[in-house]
Structure 1
Amino acid sequence: MVPTTLQNFIGNSFVDARGTGTIELVSPVTGLVTAISPVSGEADVDAAVSAAAEAFRSWRDTTPAVRQSLLLKFADAIEDNSRNLAEIQSRETGQIISLIESEECGVGADQIRFFAGTARTLGGLAGGEYMDGFSSMVRREPVGVVAQVTPWNYPLMMALWKIGPALAAGNTVVLKPSDTTPSSTLELARLLGGILPPGVVNIVLGDASTGEKLVAHPDVRMVSITGSVAAGRAVGGSAGANLKRSHLELGGKAPVLVFADADLPAAAEGIAQAGLFNAGQDCTAATRVIVERSVHDRFVELLVEEAVKLRPGQPDDDDAFYGALNNAAHLEKVLSVIRNLPDHATVVTGGHRIGDTGFYVQPTVVTGLRQTDDAIRREIFGPVITVQPFTGTDEAIRMGNDVDYGLASSVWTKDHATAERCSRELDFGCVWINCHIPLVAEMPHGGFRDSGYGKDLSLYSVEEYTRIKHVMTAH
């Protein structure tokens, strides 16, 4: 099969990039090149931003009802094309096609419908007389052209999390998808081209250099990225230097606190699924388990029993739980972590690549690690779950908070007071109790510390894409 050559999407048209570089997109399943993607240069970025800036002049004045109607059409288009979107994405991610359909297309369509509703429900202070002789009102306005950068672990869903709230608030968008997984985002753009006015959503392809040019463009007024901590620091620094608003959703190292009174079989099942879903390539994954010492060994046995059930498989294998790792470099990174575990660590199950073709890794459970070990402190982003013991709630909370990240966490206990205390003291943007990883459109998703700032999902995410103006009138 001859690899296809991808194009940028600017002003509702697919156009060849003017940049000279290219990227080979490699299937994580076969290792073969599936497409050639351009590395967009300054002229390409400028064309996309100019199209978005021109479209913003009229898009910002559309009524909330119009924006809602168009977003609802977009949600319908996602559902109607879910199989095609999933198959396109799976060629570049190696994910299970049926899981993309259910967890990104189906859920994503629901999230877009939620954002459609928020276009008509943004609020603020009531207008009134707060000073004698004067009346005040608050205007909530769109920011302008928004630059957005999405990762490779959930390409379709992350694009929807970015595009939905930005459009609902009246902004226009230039989005750069990950250099290894752009095609499902381009297919979303094709769908949007039949719904939105030209220039409202634009897609530029490329690598980190393209993203840097987009973030630094003088006509971009806000930057939103989901990615690594290093990428977030670079984007935040560039945005700050130019006084642009930034929204950073970065990595995670979720603590999973399991107390002795928890339903251990249910906890093991839920944690195994939440740790291995999408091959552990999830910044909220339940991969750092901290379990009460008195039940540590029993819990490890239960966790291993559940983990080995969740085997990886080919994209069309509906009985498989997860697919391949995204790319060869990431496969090597995950395997390197396992190979370089300290002598005091024990790989209880897994720990190896599966086969010579495709980027597959066994479900892996590791015990014996110490709080200072890199495998505890740094994001592995693979199907690797670590288990550490604790004694007492104070130690559990201290160990849970003792990383640089602050995105997500969970607590497994039957004791309400313990759950309440942990939810208050864990320094993470989300605390799940007796569950881990479910998300709903109505609730915010975002972290603290090195996990960044700002919220995806919920009304809070739409508010991030607005600015507040006070208008005061003398009587």
Structure 2
Amino acid sequence: MIHQDVVDPRTGEVYHRMPTASSTESTDAVRAAAIAFETWRSVTPGERQDVLLALADAIVEQAPELAAAECRNTGKDHAEVLEEEIPAAVDVLRFMAGAARGVPGPTAGEYVRGYSSQVAREPVGVCALITPWNHPLGSAVDKLAPALAAGNTVVLKPAETTPMSTLLLGEICNQVLPPGVVNVVCGDRDTGRALVVDPLTALVSLTGSTRAGAEVTTAAGLAGIKRLHLELGGDAPAIVLADADLAEAAEGIAEAAFYNAGQDCTAACRVLVAAEVHDRLVTLLAERAARTEVGPLNSRAHLSRVAAYLEGLPEHATVVTGGTPTPGPGFFFPPTVVTGVRQDDAIVQHEVFGPVLTVQPFTDEDDAIRLANDVPFGLAASVWSRDAATGARLARHIDAGTVWINCHGVYATEMPHGGFKHSGYGKDLSIHALDSYSRIKHVMSRTT
């Protein structure tokens, strides 16, 4: 049996060895989900609501254990996970528990004379849910809740470096849900590929890098016509106008840039600022970065990847603060601010996924919009201005799935989250998430 080392990123030490699912075990998990689907698909929305609410309550009861597993595996702050991330996950479950009972849609009626029509929303079947290492528990729930609420069964695969909280979540699900409705398999990229190409998998929902999204798309296409839900990379701009409250902007941007050590797809990693206030904002950001402590990066390999962006900076770029890995055990990299970058630099065009932000000046609004949109990604952005009309005007022209005004990284379960371009497609959160996990059927009857 093949095993995967599970490492504590704060110390760099192995603390668990996780068996990797074999191809047979992956197939068995999909088969179990397919068998369970035949019963679960017929459970009424009200009954599914009761089960999901019970699952939410069970997570609340076992929140300390879940937080401990998540923090040991990711290096996150325990209080942050316990007080913010787990309540957010519970809120998603409770929202989705009721959402499936009130999904809007076309009403039944006679749209062609002599024929009666009705529209049915059906589950798609077995869903393969593949989650990332930056938010393993939260991402699992964001996928699990709408999939189950819509009447699907699932096979859930966590990232190979962060399986622990997902395994505990799977145990909790099996205490509440019927057998086979939720299955968890652990493994590497090959395990995920096996789920993607399995003929009984109807939908693949992936949160990960754009590279991973492209690989899943290719594999799913070769396996046949398979539905995809992709939440991929981001390279979020934060546009700061000359009239903005610079202290407020610096605080909000730094919080969004360095949260979870910058390992967040919506991190405010590209600051675009009016040229006349550029130097002042850089000073404020550098001061904020210097007094900010962040947790570790996910792995030694990811630490090397983040460091490589700084080591490979062109001569015209300047590191204002940070820029080199923190000595000692674990995989730490300090909050970093870089100025003097150009639009075609790798650190601007690529997703660094670490506690690193770049600062670029712009000359006018058109220049700001051009710089904001001139990257492959389109997940999120923010605009900072005291003028509401300016914020609204720029938001219309920014090519991103979420645009915040005078804030960044604030979520509401009732509002959709998802991107454009290389950031993928499909929405998490909100009632719109149910669209990815449902199919629509038109039934017409002759009445005359």
TM-score w.r.t. length of structure 2: 0.98
3-state SS in 1 of match to 2:422? helix
Aligned to 2:52: 71
How far apart, in 2, do the equivalents of 1:430 and 1:225 lie? 19
How far apart, in 1, do the equivalents of 2:416 and 2:117 lie? 30
Aligned to 2:351: 379
Name structure 2 gaps, 5 residues minimum.
none
Aligned to 1:180: 161
CA contact (8 A) 1:236 1:248 kept: no
Do residues 298 (structure 1) and 270 (structure 2) align?
A: no
Aligned partner letter, 1:409: A
Aligned to 2:6: 25
1:114-129 correspondence runs (5 A): 114-129=95-110
Aligned partner letter, 1:413: S
Do residues 443 (structure 1) and 415 (structure 2) align?
A: yes
How far apart, in 1, do the equivalents of 2:85 and 2:169 lie? 12
How far apart, in 1, do the equivalents of 2:160 and 2:70 lie? 13
Aligned identity (percent) is 53
Do residues 311 (structure 1) and 293 (structure 2) align?
A: yes
How far apart, in 1, do the equivalents of 2:14 and 2:272 lie? 41
Aligned partner letter, 1:217: D
3-state SS in 1 of match to 2:341? coil
Aligned partner letter, 2:230: L
Aligned to 1:455: 427
- Give the CA deviation at 1:50: 0.6
- Give the CA deviation at 1:395: 0.2
TM-score w.r.t. length of structure 1: 0.93
How far apart, in 2, do the equivalents of 1:403 and 1:58 lie? 46
Aligned to 2:248: 266
Report the number of matched residues.
446
Aligned to 1:12: none
How far apart, in 1, do the equivalents of 2:137 and 2:305 lie? 24
Deviations 1:17-47 (A, max 9, x none): xxx3221111111111111122222201110
Correspondence for 1:246 among 228, 234, 255: 228
Name structure 1 gaps, 5 residues minimum.
1-19, 313-322
1:1-20 correspondence runs (5 A): 20=1
How far apart, in 2, do the equivalents of 1:368 and 1:398 lie? 17
Correspondence for 1:348 among 310, 315, 320: 320
How far apart, in 1, do the equivalents of 2:446 and 2:116 lie? 7
Aligned to 1:325: 297
How far apart, in 2, do the equivalents of 1:177 and 1:372 lie? 34
3-state SS in 2 of match to 1:459? coil
Deviations 1:265-295 (A, max 9, x none): 0000000000000000001000100000000
Correspondence for 1:215 among 172, 188, 196: 196
Correspondence for 1:394 among 362, 366, 385: 366
3-state SS in 1 of match to 2:285? helix
- Give the CA deviation at 1:79: 1.6
4+ aligned runs moved over 6 Å, structure 1: none
- Give the CA deviation at 1:414: 1.3
3-state SS in 2 of match to 1:174? strand
3-state SS in 2 of match to 1:458? coil
Aligned to 2:26: 45
Do residues 427 (structure 1) and 409 (structure 2) align?
A: no
How far apart, in 1, do the equivalents of 2:427 and 2:89 lie? 16
How far apart, in 2, do the equivalents of 1:122 and 1:170 lie? 13
Report the more deviating stretch, 192-201 or 346-355.
346-355
Aligned to 1:85: 66
How far apart, in 2, do the equivalents of 1:67 and 1:309 lie? 47
How far apart, in 1, do the equivalents of 2:177 and 2:404 lie? 37
How far apart, in 1, do the equivalents of 2:274 and 2:281 lie? 9
CA contact (8 A) 1:273 1:310 kept: no
- Give the CA deviation at 1:240: 2.7
- Give the CA deviation at 1:71: 0.7
RMSD, aligned α-carbons: 0.9
Aligned partner letter, 2:338: V
